Amino acid sequence: MKIVLLGPPGAGKGTQADILVKRLLVPHISTGDMFRAAISNGTELGKEAKSYMDKGQLVPDIVTVGIIKDRISMSDCREGFLLDGFPRTLPQAEALDSLMEEMSTSLDAVLNISVPLDRLIDRLTGRRMCRNCGTIYHLLYNAPEVENVCDACGGELYQRDDDKEATVKSRLEVYEAQTAPLISYYEQKGILHTINGDQPINAVTAQLGEALGENWS
Ligand code: ADP
Ligand code: AMP
C-alpha cells in the first residue's frame, strides 16, 4: 500500500507511522528524520537543511523532492511505503504524482490527521525524542517509564531545537500557508481520509486502520 500521512506538526504522524509500518510491513519514509540524520552525519545536505529547520521554514522543494525520488526508487518501496511529512507543498505533491506516474503506480490513500491548533503547541513543546532510535514521547501524554530514558532502547531523550516555542509558532504558520492546501488537493482526487487526531493514540490508530479497510480495534 502506498500511503501519505498528512497533518500539521504535532498531529501524531510520526507516532502513528511507527505503529502502522509494523502492521503494514512497508518502509516508513520521514523527510524530517532524513534531514535530522543528515545533520547528525554533518553532510552538505544536513548543513543546508539545518539553516531552514532552525527557522521553522521548509527546506526548498528542489532538495526535498530530490531525496524523496532517490528513496522511493529503492527496491524496498516497490510494494508500498508510508510517507510522513512529505509532501508539504503543492509543487511537492505534483512532483510525487509525476513520480508515481513514471513508476506506473498511484497513491492508495492520504490519511489526514486533524488536531486543533491549541493542542498542537502543547504537543510540540512537550515532545521528547530518543537520540539513539528516534522513538517519540511526550512529557505528559506519552511519557517514558523512567524520566529521560527511552523505553525501547535505553537511549537518552532530548528536545528537538525546532520544538522550542518560538520556532513552533512559525512552523504552524508555514503549515497553514503551504501544507493545508494539500487537503483539498487530495480531496479532489478522492483519496483523502480525515481522522480526528485529538483522541488517545490507540483510538487514532484504529480509525486510521478503518480508513485503510483494516480492522485493528
Ligand atoms: P508529528 O510527527 O505529526 O509532528 P508526533 O507523532 O511527533 O507528531 O507527535 C507530537 C507529540 O504529540 C509527541 O510528543 C507525541 O508523543 C504526542 N502525541 C502523538 N499522538 C498523540 C495523541 N493521540 N494524544 C496525545 N499526544 C500525542
Ligand atoms: P518534521 O520532522 O516532519 O516535523 O520536519 C522537521 C523539519 O524538516 C520541518 O520543519 C522542515 O524544516 C523540514 N522538512 C521536513 N519535511 C519537509 C518537506 N517535505 N519539505 C520541506 N521541508 C521539510
User: What pLDDT is attached to residue 217?
Assistant: 67
What pLDDT, on the 0 to 100 scale, is given for residue 194? 98
Ligand nearest to the CA of 195: 1
Q: For ligand 1, atom 9, name the residue with the nearest CA.
A: 12
Residue 216 pLDDT more than 80?
A: no
CA distance 97 to 103: 10
For residue 172, name the pLDDT band (cuts at 50, 70, 90).
very high
Q: Which CATH superfamily is domain 2-116+176-211 in?
A: P-loop containing nucleotide triphosphate hydrolases (3.40.50.300)
pTM above 0.95, yes or no: yes
Alpha-carbon torsion (154, 31, 72, 110), positive or negative: positive
Q: What is the per-residue pLDDT across 131-151, written as a single tens digit (0 to 9) for each? A: 999 999 999 999 999 999 999
Report the pocket of ligand 2 as residue ranges, CB < 6 Å: 9, 31-32, 35, 52-53, 57-59, 64, 85-86, 88, 92, 162, 171
Distance CA 67, CA 11 (A): 23
Task: Give the whole-angstrom CA distance, residue 47 versus residue 58.
Answer: 14
Structure confidence at residue 102 as a pLDDT band (50, 70, 90): very high
Q: Residue 215 — very low, low, confident or very high, per pLDDT cuts 50/70/90?
A: confident
